[in-house]
Structures are given as structure tokens and as C-alpha cells.
Structure 1
Amino acid sequence: MDDKYLAERFQDHRSHLRAVAYQMLGSLSDADDAVQEAWIRLDRSNAGAIRNLGGWLTTVVGRVCLDMLRTRVSRREETFPSHLPDPIVSRADHVDPEQQAMLADSVGLALLVVMETLTPAERLAFVLHDIFGLQFTEIATIADRSPGAVMQLASRARRRVRGVAVTPDVDLAQQRELVGAFLAATRDGDLGVMIATLAPDVVLRVDRDGGIREVRGASAVAEGALTFSWLASYALHVTVNGVAGIVTVLNDELISMTACTVRLGKIVALDIFADRKRLSDLELTWSSPRTCDVAEICS
């Protein structure tokens, strides 16, 4: 098999492999590293003897990600602060083809946050079986465990995820309408309307300076948001991992980005990125909106 043909075949699987790695790692840069490692191993292998290239590559990426997660966990107490997973962000009016491919196999940011609490082996079993549909026998070869043990890992992960994670509403337009109502009420200082848009047990997570600060409960979240009410007039709609989101842009500088998870017509989670370095790493650029009615801006 010549190098050009092998590279073309690998490229056919790249989007899928990157999606698998992203769900496993919650980091876009680490996902790219895992995919690159898969290419290196393929290039060094006897590729002509591989009957199912897609399955072989998925297995390799799974093993690479499992090792990366284990390394991350072993170092976390010393050098890895807790932070929100990397978001997949697109403008409200445009999603590029590569992002579309990622989003097709992606889960919401709120679920990715919960998945950070799983052990590496649990996350492997959950991601590969529940999200990508691999058989337990296939996952067992990656995890070096029996199929029965992998089934138990997936079941345990599923219970932990089910107890915390939520499935967002599917209508993006309705999500944005609700988020717009929350922003308008924030700008106007209308605490009652703000609380009405939030689920009673809403959780707000702010990723700032490498750490997460968490606030729970509609009243606490709404009262905290009022502190920054003046920024509501500088909000623009985006899509974050397939759900409604907003970016705050002031003097052409990205100040923050928020993923808003909506379920049953209420905002159940607000995940805010406010770490300047992480925002700059996203390489997102917007022009500052003019100061006007929030409903007009977020439309």
C-alpha cells in the first residue's frame, strides 16, 4: 500500500477519530494529538494486512486516549486544575464542515462536564459503547479486560451520568428565545423574569484562571448574573456543542462565552468560559455589537 493511498484512507476516517478522541478527552488539542499518534502507528504498521481500517484506527485511538486519561488522572492533584472541557463553538449563522462532522457525534457540554468525573476505564466504555456503538468485545481488547467487566464499567458510568446529566431540548430557535429573554431581564434588572427562565436546580459553572467556581439554584444564579447586567447589551448568539450559547464582546475583545443548556423550556445549566488564555486559544473573533435592545442583538 503506497503512502499516498494510505494517507487518503486515513483522511477518510479522521473526522470520526477526532470525534472519538474529543469525547474521550474533552480537549480539542489532545484529541488532535491522539489522532496524530494513530497516524504514526498506522504508518509504521503493516497496513496491507489490516482488514478493517476504521475499526483498527478506532481501537488505536481508544488505547491512546485511555493512556492519556490515566496520565492526566495521575498528575491531576499536582499540576492539573479542574476546568471545563473545550467547547465546539460556531457562529449562529454558520457551521463549517469540520465542526459539523464533530457535532454529528458530539454530546452537549453539560454531559462532557459530568464525564470528567468518570474513571478512565468507565469513560472509555461509556463513550465507545453508548455514544459510538462499539461492541463490548471490541472495547475489551482496548481496556485489557473481559467483555463482562467492560459491560459493568459502562453500566456504572451510565448510572453516574444518568443521575446528573440532562438531555437538552432539540429546538435551537426556542433555546435562543429563552436565552434572549434571560439576557433582556438581566439587562433590565428584572429578577423575577430571570428566575422564571431558570430551572429551580440550575447550575452555573464559571471557568476562570484555570479553576471552576460553581453556583446552584435559580435565585443565587440570577442574583449573581445581575452583578454583570451591563454586559448583557454586548451579547451575541453562538452555538456551543449543539446548544444555544452567547459570547460577550466588548471593544472587539471576547470577554466571555457561555453554553446554555435548556431542558423542558428552562435553563438548567450555564457553563461560562471567562479565562482569557482559554478564550484566546479558541481563536474566535467578533466585532463588538452596538449597544441596543438585547432581543435585537440576540436574533
Structure 2
Amino acid sequence: GEAPAAAGAGGGDLEGEAPAAAGADLADADEDNQRSPLAGGTETDVRLEEQESGLVRKLGLLGTVNPLAQREYQALQERHEFLSDQLEDLRSSRRDLTKVVEAVDERIRDVFGAAFTDVAAAFTETFPRLFPGGDGRLVLTDPADLLNTGVEVEARPPGKRVKRLSLLSGGERSLTALAVLFAIFKARPSPFYVLDEVEASLDDVNLRRFLDLLTDLGRTSQLLVVSHQKRTMEIAGTLYGITMRGDGVSRVLSERMADRDPDDRSSSNGSKPSRIPVTTSAGRSRRD
């Protein structure tokens, strides 16, 4: 009867020792795993440590994290979009202005080309009237670029081979300039002109030719001529003289030439000058 009881007592002790042994084995396995390297050996551990150190350095270079960075980014993005829209508006305006400039340039080419053609033709007709037997013309320095071209005046008085204005005398240059001026008047007429002592340097022969052109121009336009030439005053319809009295006050004297006696209006050579609508001012002089 005592043998089974002993056997039973011995079996209970074995059952209590089994869980304890199993727990001890698991603890030893975890400790072994913590001490053992990862899969791949020691080289893998070294490489991972280097990568970790690199990431730590990069994170340090970033500095302190700005909590307002996202809000600042949104503000800058809105500013960028606004400036982008403004830039596009400027580009659009530039394209529109370029089209306007091109249209204006084309209009200038057309108007200038037509005006130059008319003035050049009128100059070819006017020059021989001031220089009988002479030849003159207007030429463009760059006909292919009407926006930047210049205009040269070629004048060849009778008996001379020169064409450059710098080689002409003072009277010839003045007469050539008058020819250009009257060519412009003829090509693009105006109802009113003002001439200020344009014939001051002309001799009697050239003055007579100038007055012939002035007479023709006066038939279609009103002229106001400032002159000290008596022959110019003789063809005027009205004379205005500016004089200064002894007290320094200027005085205007006027006289309508058409109201004078025809004998008094005769020229020095006995011929009666033609009346044209020319108003002549005799300039200012001091009365002693």
C-alpha cells in the first residue's frame, strides 16, 4: 500500500520542474540573440552604423525645425503666383505694343515714301527756276531702310561740276535750301507760311528769282515775310514796320500797299510789281 503513494508523490515533483526548465531555456535564447550579430555578419552592422551616423549629421545640418515653415511656404507660393500673373500681363502688353509699333512703322514708311517721292519731283522742277541751266535732285542714303535713312541734296549749279553743298558758295547754298523749302511747300501745301529773312544773303539776280517763286506761292497761300529787302517789300500787300521811340517803347507802323498810288508803287526799273497776299515786316530799328 505505501509504494503507490510514493510513486504519486514523485510524479508531482516532475510536473512542477518542467515549466521552470522551459522558462529558463527561453531566457537563455533571448540573451543569446541580443549578443549575436544580425544576419549578414559584422560588416552589415558596420555599414548600418555608418549610414546611421550620416543621417544624424544630415539631420543636424537641417538645424532647428521651423514650425511656421508651412505658413511661410504658402505665403511665398501666393506671392509667386501673383508675380507670375503680373509677368504674363507684361508680356501680353509687350506683344500688343510690338504690334502697334510695327503698324506705326509701316505707316511711317508709307507716308514718308510718298512724301519723299513728291518732294523729290518738286525739287527737280524748282531747282532749275532758281538755277537756270542747273540740275538738282534728292536721294536717300539708305532706300532699303526708310525709318533710318537720310536725305542727301545734290545740287549742280550751271557751269559747275560739283554736287556737294559744302563746295558751293554761301549764296548758292542759301538758294539750294530755298529750293528744298519751296519743293516741300509745293508737295505738301499749307494755307499759311512764315519766312524770316530767308533772302538776306541773295544778290539782285537771285533775289529776283526768289521773288518769282514767292509770287507763285502767294497765289495759293498767305505769306508772312520778315525782310529788310526793299524789293521784297515792294511785292507785299501789307507792310508792318517795328520801330523804337526815344523812350524805348516799340511802335508798330502798318500800311496797305494796295491803297497807295500806282506810280509810288513802281519798282526801281520802272515796272509795276505784282500784288500778292504777302505781309512783310521790316524788322526793328531804333529811331534817333
TM range (shorter): under 0.3
The two structures have a TM-score, normalised by structure 1, of: 0.23
User: Normalization by structure 2: what TM-score?
Assistant: 0.24
More contact order relative to length (CA 8 Å, sep ≥ 6): 1
Q: Looking at CA atoms only, which structure, 1 or 2, has the larger radius of gyration?
A: 2
